[in-house]
Structures are given as C-alpha cells and as structure tokens.
Amino acid sequence: MDRDQAEKRVIELREILWINSRRYYVDNAPTMSDFEYDHLMRELEDLENEYPDLKTPDSPTQKVGSDLDKGFAQYPHKYPMLSLGNTYNIGEIEDFARRAEKELGEVGFTYSCELKFDGTAICLTYRNGKLFRALTRGDGVVGDDVTANVRMISNVPLSLKGSGWPEEFEIRGEILMPYESFDRLNRERVENEDQPFANPRNAASGSLKLQDPKVVAKRGLMCTLYHIPAQSVTFATHSEALDAAASWGLPVSGERRTVSGISQIEEYISYWDKQRRYLPFATDGIVIKINELDYQNALGYTAKSPRWAVAFKFQAEEALTRLVSIDYQVGRTGAVTPVANLSPVQLAGTVVKRATLNNEDFMSQLDIRVGDWVKVIKGGEIIPKIIDVDLSRRPEDSVKPSFPTVCPDCGTPLVKDENEARWFCPNTDGCPTQIKGKLEHFLGRKAMNILAGEATVEQMYNLGLVRTPADFYSLDKRGLMMLEGWKDRSAERFLASLAESKSVPFERVLFALGIRYVGETTAKELARHFGDIDSLAAASEEKLLEVRDIGDVIAKSVRDYFSDPKHLEEISRLKEAGLRFSVEEVSASSEALSGLSIVISGNFSISRDEMKRLIEINGGKNSSSVSGKTDFLLAGSKPGPEKIRKAEELGVRIIGEEEFMEMIPSGETSAGGGDIVEPTLF
C-alpha cells in the first residue's frame, strides 16, 4: 500500500470508528462487535505508525471515545480518565510484560490481575468521607455529572466507614447491570413493545443517563470499583489501595489476584475464561496492571492509555451461518419488526435459528440480503445478534430487501413517527395480529390470569367468538364447545377462571388494557395515583406528568388512549362484566412486619404476587433491591445469586419461606398465581 492508498484508508477507518464510537458510547446501540472495532483501530494505528505524517490529534487513536451528553452538567476530571489498550492475544501480554521489564529494569515488580467488567465507566469523588460527585468517563478530560443517579445505586456508599481515608480522593470503576436486572428490564420492554437492550453494558449505560433518578433506582444497577489514581493515595501498591478502599465500605471486586510472572497471568486468564460464565454479571476480559504505584508512575501514559496496564479481551463466541429468509412480524401495538431466519447453528450452548434485525435502519447499515452468510454472536452472551455480513460469499443475484410499505398481515399502509425508528400499522382495531396480540395480553398471567393461551385465542378469533377483551365475558359453555377438542371440563375450567378474573385488582386490569408504554409498574403507579378509571380517563397530560416516573411519551400515550371513543366503550362493557376499575383500600391484617423493608428472591410454594401481598397486609414494605436499609432477604428456591451475595456482604439477614410464615398470623394465604396453560382436553 503506497501513501495515497494509505491516506484514503486512514480517512475511511476514522469515519467508521467515529460513527461506531458514537453508537457505542452515546446511542448505546452498537452495530459492530468489540472485536471488529478493536481490529479496525489496530489497522489504523499500524497505518499511522507507518506514515507518521497521517497521524493527527483528532484521530480516534489519539482520543478516548466520548459519552458526553448535553442533558447533564459537565466537570473536568482531576486526573485524565483514559481507556486501556486491548489485545486478544496471549503473545501480546508477554510483549507487554517484556516491555515493562526492559523499562523498569531488574526491580522485581508484581502484577495485579482483575476481571474486566462489561459496564460503563464511572469516577467517584469522596470528600470528607462523603460521596461528593460522580462523573462518567466523558471524553477522558471532562465527564457528565451523574451524581444524583449514582446515589440511587444501592451498593454505592454515600458515607465511608472506618478510618484512614484521604480528605479527598477519586476512585474509579464500572456501573454494571446484573443479568437478573437485565432480564427483568428486557421483559418489561418487550411487553411494552420497546426495543430490548442488546446486552447488559448498553442497558447499564442507558440507565445511568436517564434524567429521572427514581427510574434509575428501579433498574437494579450495581457498582464495582477497581482503581484509585496513584496521585490520590500514599500506598505502595495498587492492591493495598484497593484493600483499604474495601475496608472503607467501597464495593471493590474480590476476584482480583496479585501474581509475579507471565505463567501466573496466563493461569488467571485461563481460569476466568471458563468461570466467568457463572458470574451474575457480564465480563469481557482480564486487566493486567503493574502493581507497584511508583513503577506505574515511572512507565507513564500514551495519549489515550496507561503504559502500565493492558486488557486481554475474551472473544465472544460467534458463528457463521446463512440467512434463509426475513419475516416481518406485527406486534400487538402495531410495531413491525424484521426477523432473520437462519440455517440452524450451534452458538454458546444453544441452537440459534432466528435473530432480530431490529428495524429498517439496522438492515440498511448492515446492507444485509437473503442468501448472505452472516456472522452471529450472542450479544452479552444472551441475545442472538447478527453483527456482520461476509460480502465475499454474497450470491451474484442477491437483491437488497425492501422493507414493507404495507402491514404484512392486513395490508394497511405503514406509518412512521419522526421520533421512532420503527414502522407501525395504524389499523389497531382491524389488524388480525394486533387484535389477537391484545387478546393474549389481556388473558396473561400478569394481567387477568385467565386460563387460555395463544392456540385458544386463535380458535376463538377464527370462529368469530371474540374481537375485544369484553367479548370473553359474553362467552358461554355452548360457544366454547365449538372449539376443537374442548369438552365439558375444558369449558367449565375456562369459565371458572373467567369468573375469578373479576376479582383481579384495578392496577392489573389497567395493565391488561394494553395501553402503549404502560407496563406493570406504570399501571400500578397510575392506579394508585388516580384511584379509579374515570379519574384517570379525565386526566390531562399535565396531571399525568405529576405521577411518579411518568414522562411525556407515556402521558401522551395514555391521553390518546382515553381520547378514543372505542376504548371508552370497551371499558364500559368491561365495567358491566364486573371487572374492578377502582383501587380497594386494603387494611393491614396485622402489624407483624410493621416498618420492615423486605426483598424477595426465588420461587415459593405460592406465587410471588401472593408473597408480596402477605408482606403488605402485615405492615411490611416490598423492596426490589438489597441495600443497607433492607431488614431481611426472603429467599425461596433458586434465589438470585447477586441478591444473596449483596445480603451477605451487607450483613442482611436471609430467611426462608417457612421462617417467614412463622412470622405472620396463619390462615392468610390464598391460592392462585400459577402459570397459564392450555386447558387439558377430555
């Protein structure tokens, strides 16, 4: 490659890297894997080293990726907050060790080996033992002030304990979203037909930049800290500084290890490459640091990374397979989502046959076509995701797919809001898929908990028995016997569950209506705030915005829903059927748990909703995450490992179901809460 060719490639690489840096740090929606990004960055570094006159101060090789957001106040870091050099090769770790030995001489230094956490970087400042400020990495020099949000993270101490801490110091680390919290958040987003986060890192970064700290508090974030700038402390080694930080009550990782040679570094890497799969949070590699702080200072820094540390990145398991076809699925809110059908391929322990393509923009960015060979990974090792197309194997007759202009189900022209990345079918009351999706949602366990599933809804719809949820309450045994395979007992069980649904509390009825963006938590807040459906239906957007955690988008959606006469007519029919549309005051049956904050985790002999009800009617308070204010953790079978670890770390008492039942008056439990299944046919 001559200089002219090199210059063209440098310009091309810089544009690609800056675009993907923004998608990663700002949009929290990367379309390129870490491995691909690092590979392109390395290519750019090599070209700039070969042609030094092409290296400029604004090159991605000379600057840290920026997550600065105009919505937050910004402050400078006391010391630059740089990124780490990455490698996927053990040989380069050996080169790192040899360079350090050469520059430092025969001084007998050690290494600190630590997990590389896959979250979003944070810098905490403590002043006089109190949390003073929390800044994101930003551009490495200036960071966004997210102190109010970080205060909502339960394992970040607002005050230090013990003694010996400096009057003021910085400590840096990562904000993480544990898998348990990530799964819960994505389930809620899918239920509301919002785009799920691709991995826990994106979810953590997006959550930290929310404007409402109360919402952040519900996201289940955690913090782990791993570095105190040498200028801030007087310790001899990095490991001593972190030991001290742990004694002050700061959440320092317990998986670090001090080693004395390359063979022990390789042992540590090999161990965690396997064991990381059992951690409750995402990791993507190992960080190796020179342990002695004086030697760190002696080695110094490059423009964007320290010379005394390097990151070894684990390669995400990936597979190459063929894109067979693309389906366009319509959800219950009308959102049209493209889904890739793949030749089955083994990936991270499961067979992957399908992967989401997110939306039209994502498809265009990949330039994906049917017949392409595509690279698939599990984003965050959880969600199958297409990250690349092998253009060298593209069929000559391939054609770029056209995103549908009409609904694939009902043929209605699609619409796209300027603030949305997705297309929607506006035929909410006539599109069969939307109708059936809303009916299934209404019947769901977390909604009305009526004994029927997708196959039953399909039959009822095809026979013309139901079109709206209120139609369920007009069904009789004669009509149900028209369903294929149904006999007396099937019909009787369905009608019994229909009758029981009339006792479902208002907040679940509200959730069952399927108002766009109104999930379980939002429905509960709206029900508690307004008390009944009539007050909610009459509320203006301004009044809706007064409700905790309700923003402009949800307020507009709720207002639009109740402005539609067809929806008001449906609610009137459901009222006539006997459903509850007002909050019933529940008086405490005892004060056995008065003032106690309780977190539940795992499975019990009764439903989790019933367990929460028992806590409330006996004077207790249900909390979602373990903190220093938690009185005890109620653990059933298969409790969340992170909650157990956190409880043990904070000294929170852990009790089982049997002990809990002994704490409250007997005879208070009620049946219910089981999973929905199709009726047993006789």
* Active site amino acids: 116
Rounded-to-10 torsion of CA 54, 57, 59, 61: 100
> At residue 258, what is the residue type?
T
Q: Pick from 26, 91, 16, 102: which is nearest to 59 by CA?
A: 16
Among candidates 99, 248, 267, which has minimal Cα distance to 169?
248
- CA 391 to chain CA mean position, Å: 32
List CB contacts of 568: < 8 A, sequence separation 6 or more: 537, 562
What are the tokens at 497?
């569950």
Q: How far is CA 390 from the centre of its chain?
A: 29
Cβ atoms within 10 A of the Cβ of 155, count?
20
DSSP 619-650: T-EEESS--TT--EEEE-BS--HHHHHHHHHH
DSSP-assigned letter for residue 292: B
Structure-token match 């046919």, residue found: 681
Under 8 Å between Cβ of 259 and 111: yes
Q: What SS3 class is residue 516? A: coil
Which residue, 117, 141, 168, 135, is CA-closest to 62? 141
Using CA atoms, how far residue 345 sits from 48, 319, 355, 395, in Å, is 39, 7, 12, 20
Cα 389 to Cα 374: distance, rounded to the nearest angstrom: 4
- Two tokens at 678? 């199709």
The H-or-E segment that residue 117 falls in is strand 111-117
Residue 283, strand partner residues: 117
Q: How many CB atoms lie within 10 A of CB 71?
A: 9
- Distance between CA 667 and CA 660 in Å, rounded? 13
Return the DSSP state at 426.
Answer: -
Q: How many helices (H) and strands (E) does the chain have?
A: 24, 21
Q: Which two tokens stand for residue 271?
A: 């161990």
User: Would you say the C-alpha torsion 76, 78, 80, 81 has a positive or negative sign?
Assistant: negative
- Beta bridge partner(s), residue 224: 174
The Cα–Cα gap between 14 and 278 comes to 37
Provide CB contacts within 8 A for 531, sequence distance 6+: 582, 583
